[in-house]
Amino acid sequence: MEGSILQKKHLSSFQAIILGFAGVILAGAILLMLPFAARNGTGTPFHEALFTATSAVCVTGLVVQDTASYWSGFGQAVILLLIQMGGLGVITVAAFFALLAKRKISLMQRNTMREAIAAPKVGGIVRLTGFIIRATFVIELLGAAFMMPVFCRDYGVRGIWMSVFHSVSAFCNAGFDIMGTKEAPFVSLTAYQIDPFINITIMLLIVIGGIGFLTWDDVCTNKWHFSRYRMQSKVILITTGFLLVFPALYFFVFEFDSLPLADRIYQSVFQSVTARTAGFNTADLTMLKSTGQSVLIVLMLIGGSPGSTAGGMKTTTIAVLFANVMAVFRRRKEAQCFGRRIESEAIHNAATVLLMYLVLFFGGALIISLVEDLPVGICLFETASAVGTVGLSLGITQGLGLFSRCILILLMFLGRVGGLTFIYATLAGTSKNFSKLPQEKIIVG
């Protein structure tokens, strides 16, 4: 029997994350195919159920059927559950149930949890997971409570469900809404474009969810002592502030100048916030100038922050690349930020992530444009929304063919799990080569 004993193979952390998301998506699609998941009582085709489940788990918000008028109460509940699992992360949810069952969590499982929430170290990961779960439910309940008076005023008892649904959807940066009707589907939050309670609550939920749990843990630990924050938290907060303020100023000056002052402020700030992977909209995006749509595309691609409910390239990716550019301009050998050096591996990863997102973004748009015979500009908006897991749309997703929808499904999945995670999962077990080849200079730029 020599050599016949098989070594038990364990999934890598990255493979566990990929398979976890894929498994939940498939289970969600099967549930959404059930006849009672739709209001008409007939089974939903697999490709439509799969698209919806992928969009929910990947907290995107792109839909092929209006969530309110097509899906029954059961179907909406399934979608909300998928959103919650996708926002928290499948691994985090699994760890939560393991903690409830008082099961011992192994070192390998702790490492998988660390990778899932982008934590810097394994130590304290169980405490951090508990903080994430508690903070999530408290914030979502508060969000629902603030919106409940408005929705109950307009919809009666159903307003309670609407408050909970939109609070979870906003905090998880999903962008799903249940506002549509058969006569007026896909309306999102346009009916509440000037309502202060809904606007401010939704925006706060989006920002809080998109900043990242690690950053909020830093804030809760160090309070107002900004100098004590980790460099990553400082970078995230400063970059987030920049990406909120300057796009809002653009929209205020150039896009909504015909509106009254209060409406203009609400519209401008909301578009700046929601484009960062949330997907709600209070304005007709097709009426924006091409420049305004381009600003939204950039914001959608950048997305939120690491370890958050948001997708996209992440704020830290852009910040690291910017710091590297400044180092080159100043002829410094190493990029630095807040008095700290940025490791070269972070710069390499940031450059790789940027290139991957651009390839997926442009490649997907060109394919859809060719297959559907649509203008490339419109297709770029949809693919940016998919790969950035945003959910904003110029209205073409519902009319796309099966092949183009499959492209969007793939983009949403890769955008949520992360391109690097997918590559690491695919190449897991590949032997490392520590030898170095001869070096030779190459001129760039």
Backbone angles phi, psi at 38, to 5 degrees: -110, 150
Across 71-102, b (16+ Cβ under 10 Å) vs e yields bbeebbebbbbbbbbbbbbbbbbbbbebeeee
Q: Residue 433: pLDDT band by 50, 70, 90 thresholds? A: low
The beta-strand segments (E) located in 166-305 are none
Does 146 score more than 90 pLDDT? yes
Torsion, CA 375, CA 381, CA 385, CA 391, rounded to 10: -90
Instruction: State how far the Cα of 281 lies from the Cα of 270, in Å rounded to an integer.
Output: 8
Average pLDDT over residues 130-156: 92
Helix, strand, coil fractions of the chain, as percent rounded to 5: 65, 0, 35
Q: Is residue 24 part of a domain?
A: yes
Q: Provide the domain limits for residue 70.
A: 13-425
Q: What is the pLDDT of residue 119?
A: 67
Q: Determine contact, residues 75/32, Cβ cutoff 8 Å.
A: yes
Q: Residue 434: pLDDT band by 50, 70, 90 thresholds? A: low
Maximum distance among all Cα pairs of the chain, rounded to whole angstroms: 83
Instruction: State how far the Cα of 158 lies from the Cα of 145, in Å rounded to an integer.
Output: 14
Average pLDDT over residues 416-421: 74
Q: Is residue 441 part of a domain?
A: no
Q: Residue 88: pLDDT band by 50, 70, 90 thresholds? A: confident
Q: Is residue 80 part of a domain?
A: yes
- Using alpha carbons, select from 70, 124, 134 the residue that is nearest to residue 100: 134
pLDDT, the chain, mean: 86
Q: Give 340's strand partners.
A: 337
Q: What is the pLDDT of residue 4?
A: 38
Does 1 score more than 50 pLDDT? no
Q: Determine contact, residues 129/157, Cβ cutoff 8 Å.
A: no
Q: Is residue 176 part of a domain?
A: yes
Chain segment 301-325, per-residue pLDDT in tens:
998 888 788 888 999 999 999 999 9
Average pLDDT over residues 262-279: 90
- Using alpha carbons, select from 228, 230, 220, 290 the residue that is nearest to residue 254: 290
Chain segment 97-114, per-residue pLDDT in tens:
776 766 777 666 677 677
Q: Say what the pTM is.
A: 0.88
Average pLDDT over residues 374-378: 93
Q: Is residue 128 part of a domain?
A: yes
Q: Give 341's strand partners.
A: 336
* 193 DSSP assignment: T
- Give the up-direction half-sphere exposure of residue 146: CA atoms within 13 A in the CB hemisphere: 20
Q: Residue 375: pLDDT band by 50, 70, 90 thresholds? A: very high
CA dist list (Å): 289 to 57, 250, 255, 276, 396: 31, 11, 7, 19, 18
Q: Determine contact, residues 275/311, Cβ cutoff 8 Å.
A: no
Chain segment 51-80, per-residue pLDDT in tens:
999 999 998 989 999 999 999 999 999 999
Tokens of 5: 């004993």
Average pLDDT over residues 13-34: 88
Burial degree of 244 (CB within 10 A; 0-12, 13-18, 19+): middle
Chain segment 203-213, per-residue pLDDT in tens:
999 999 888 88
| For the chain, percent of residues with pLDDT exceeding 90 | 50
Q: Which of 226-230, 343-347, 385-389, 428-432 has the lowest mean pLDDT?
A: 428-432
Q: What is the pLDDT of residue 427?
A: 65
Q: Determine contact, residues 133/88, Cβ cutoff 8 Å.
A: yes
Instruction: State how far the Cα of 256 lies from the Cα of 170, in Å rounded to an integer.
Output: 24
Q: Is residue 432 part of a domain?
A: no
Chain segment 377-415, per-residue pLDDT in tens:
999 999 999 999 998 999 899 899 999 999 999 999 998
* Residue with more model confidence, 358 or 428: 358
CA dist list (Å): 294 to 28, 110, 297, 401: 33, 41, 5, 25
Give 81-122 as a DSSP string. Answer: HHHHHHHH-HHHHHHHHHHHTTPPPPHHHHHHHHHHTT-S-S
Tell me the pairing of strands 340-341 and 336-337.
antiparallel
Q: How many domains does the chain have?
A: 1
Q: Is residue 444 part of a domain?
A: no
Does 430 score more than 60 pLDDT? no
Q: Is residue 113 part of a domain?
A: yes
Q: Determine contact, residues 75/42, Cβ cutoff 8 Å.
A: no
Q: Which of 25-39, 117-131, 405-419, 424-438 has the lowest mean pLDDT?
A: 424-438
Chain segment 215-242, per-residue pLDDT in tens:
888 888 888 888 888 899 999 999 999 9
Tokens of 30: 């099967």
Reported residue count of the chain is: 445
Does 6 score more than 50 pLDDT? no
